Chain A
Amino acid sequence: MTMSEGDLAVAQLKFVRQTTLEQQPPPKSMTGAIGWLRENLISTPFNVVLTILIALFLLWLIPGIVKFLLIDAVWTGADRDACREIVQNRPIGACWPFAWERLSYFTYGSYPIPQRWRVDVFFAMLAIGVVWILSLKAPRRDLAAYYCFIVLPICSFILLSGFEAIGLPHVDTVLWGGVLVTIVVSAVGIVVSLPIGILLALGRKSDMPTVKLFSVLFIEFVRGVPLVTVLFMASVMLPLFVPEQYSPDKLLRALIGIAMFASAYMAEVVRAGLQAIPKGQFEGAMAVGLGYWQMMRLIILPQALKITIPNIVNTYIGLFKDTTLVFIVGIFDLLHTIEVSRLDPKWATPVTSTTGYAVAGIFYLVFCYAMSRYARATEARLAKSDRR
């Protein structure tokens, strides 16, 4: 047995380590808080400048907000005197007793007080529906869709609007207000816009000329007109054409306007997803003998919708905030109830308006952030297949 050249070289070495070294921790400067700082905040000169600028911006912004909302805020009081600098002899921040006194008005609007339990039941039913359909661990999720899209709308309508036969007095929608209206308008917009948007997107890509023409006209017309105009037309013009007794309810008119609007935008979002699907997927689906609807349902839409989730949620968040526009046609959504409450002479102070708007800001921030977080989680879950 002769030694190869390599073996010979090894044999001539004085020391050859037979076992692996024990693993050492990385250098201190690369781990922990310092390491994180070095890597993320001060890795390059440009990064250092950015970090300093952003820190200065936050230092300028946050103390003012905290001071106004918490430190200088007034927490108790019966009327405007509690929130006036001249009476209290101190700087005054947010006037929370005003928001507290008006909280039920912000929530229910002018909904008759003895009937407000109906709104509470509606909120509870909606919350159950949302949790059931959105949470992956919930039992019987197959029933959740029926609950959300059939049971819930019918029950909500009966509950909120009233049904004399079962002892629920009719409550005119003029009396609805606050969070109730904001939720109803955005829920209808969200629920209606996706299916109609998908149909319009498919219609726009369809080979049938009439379907295509209708879809294109609808989408381009609705997208080409500002939402404010649609709402104005619905609330000012419609009553002139239709006799008073047949004229649809003011809230219903706004709901239809918003649903149409959201559908047109959703159609374009979905179409973008359809465009992104490679032609091979369509051809493959047809090759295995699937019909149009089967192909769309089983192959194309699942992929198209998955890649458009960020855009769909973006549209939803935009829609949720756009619902505030109904206030210009005299519907009392949350922002409008705040808008009229800040005019109440009982609470007239320089900080009342700011406090009211802070309440609106917090409400919209919480809801929009929740939507965005859920969408991020869904994206991450569905993206697993792409990483394989």
Chain B
Amino acid sequence: MARDKRDAEEHCACPLRGILATHKSGAFTTHEWGCPMKKIASIIALAVVFGATSASAQTLKTVKDRGILNCGSNGSLAGFGLPDAQGKWAGLDVDFCRAVAAAVFGDDKKVKFVPLSAKDRFTALQSGEVDVLARNTTWTSSRDSQLGLNFVGVNYYDGQGFMVRTALKVKSALELGDASVCVQQGTTTELNLADYFRANKMKLKTVTFATSNEALKAYDTGRCDAYTTDASGLYSERLRVANAAEHIVLPEIISKEPLGPAVRHGDDQWFDVAKWTLNAMINAEELGITSANVAEMAKSDNPDIKRLLGTEGNFGEQLGLPKDWAFNIIKLVGNYGESFDRNVGSGSPLKIDRGLNKLWSKGGLQYAPPVR
């Protein structure tokens, strides 16, 4: 029996053997669990790989049959996805999901928001638990290729920035040479910060904290000279310091963080639906169509508007959607600019400048291919 036990530990031939052997001998330590657990882990890893590839290619049909869109969302990021006092979700990413529901069902309320953490968001999409992932996810090559995602576009161009006290009289991030910087540990934010300081040959003094809340509090009480996180976050965090007027956000953006909604690999039709929902919102802003004037605009003679709103051609049907898909999006959710202003821009407490998120025709990066 003692031999059995040793075998189990050394060769791990059968996952159960170690357990049975130790049980008989009366002693029960955690040590013997080491080997079987390894096996279980590899089985799970296999399942993850198969799970990722076996997702069905019929998402649009599944969603229509189910009658509701499952949208993976953040749930705890102001301006992007956050329940309000009535428990209704609001935000830029939330609006995207409502727009998809409006396009598919003609009803923006047929969405179930599944709150996802940064850790479980990709598995939730791979496993089919959600149909769309709109959770301020940065579009990167490894996510696009390795995680089985297809990013449908960029609904917010973000990047990492700095906040400093005005009293410090710093005008640029390049002057932060000997400054101490408060940052949340274990994030890409922390890595970007180190890269930026190294690239510019500046000495870096970081003070790290487990949560962004602690990091901000430390900055506010004067433990560091600067605070860094994504620019969109800086604006909402600036509201939480004691006196917002004493702090400025520096102009430098030290990383590219294009945030966009994503769908699963392997379902081109659904990919198109999601992609053109975002494009329709951006095109609507460019054409001057808003939720208020969309009914009027439907009578317009402008061929671009007629094609978008479905009064000419059958572009909705080509996507597998109703003729008035874009009309419904704009009527129920609004165009991209409206959504931006309402959630993060001038119409919200965050008051984030449009910056890179302006339309291409106004000096920004938001550009959508035409509907034709």
Contacts and interface: CB of A to CB of B under 8 A. Distances in A.
Interface of A: 80, 84-86, 101-102, 104-105, 108-111, 113, 172, 174-175, 177, 213, 216-217, 220, 224, 232, 235-237, 239-241, 244, 247, 250, 328-330, 332, 337, 339-341, 343-346, 348-350, 352-353
Contacts of A328: 117
Interface residues of B, number: 49
Indicate the member of A86, A108, A220, A240 with the most B CB atoms within 10 Å. A240
Interface in B229-246: 236, 239-243, 245
A364 to B, nearest CB: 20
B10 interface: no
Contact of B23 (A86, A216, A250): A216
A102 B162 CA distance: 31
B79 A110 contact: no
A31 to B, nearest CB: 52
A345 B87 contact: no
B170 interface: no
Contact of A213 (B23, B82, B115, B119): B23
Contact of A240 (B51, B75, B119, B236): B51
Nearest to B128: A244
Interface of B: 19, 23, 28, 30, 33, 44, 47-48, 51, 75-79, 82-89, 112-117, 119-120, 123-124, 126-129, 213, 217, 220, 236, 239-243, 245, 348-350
B78 A330 contact: no
Given A101-B85, A240-B47, A330 B120 contact: yes
Indicate the member of A239, A345, A350, A352 with the most B CB atoms within 10 Å. A345
B94 to A, nearest CB: 12
B129 A344 contact: no
Contact of B129 (A80, A224, A247, A346): A247
A237 B117 CA distance: 14
A207 B220 CA distance: 64
B349 A80 contact: yes
Contacts of A329: 117, 120
A345 B239 contact: yes
A330 B115 contact: yes
A212 B199 CA distance: 63
A84 B242 CA distance: 7
Contacts of B129: 239, 244, 247
B204 to A, nearest CB: 27
Contacts of B30: 224
Contacts of A84: 242
A213 B28 CA distance: 12
A108 B112 CA distance: 17
Nearest to A108: B87
A244 B55 CA distance: 10
A86 to B, nearest CB: 5
Nearest to B238: A348
Given A104-B87, A217-B23, 16 more contacts: A80-B349, A104-B85, A110-B88, A110-B89, A111-B87, A172-B112, A174-B112, A175-B87, A216-B28, A235-B120, A329-B120, A330-B114, A330-B115, A340-B82, A341-B85, A348-B236
Nearest to B55: A244
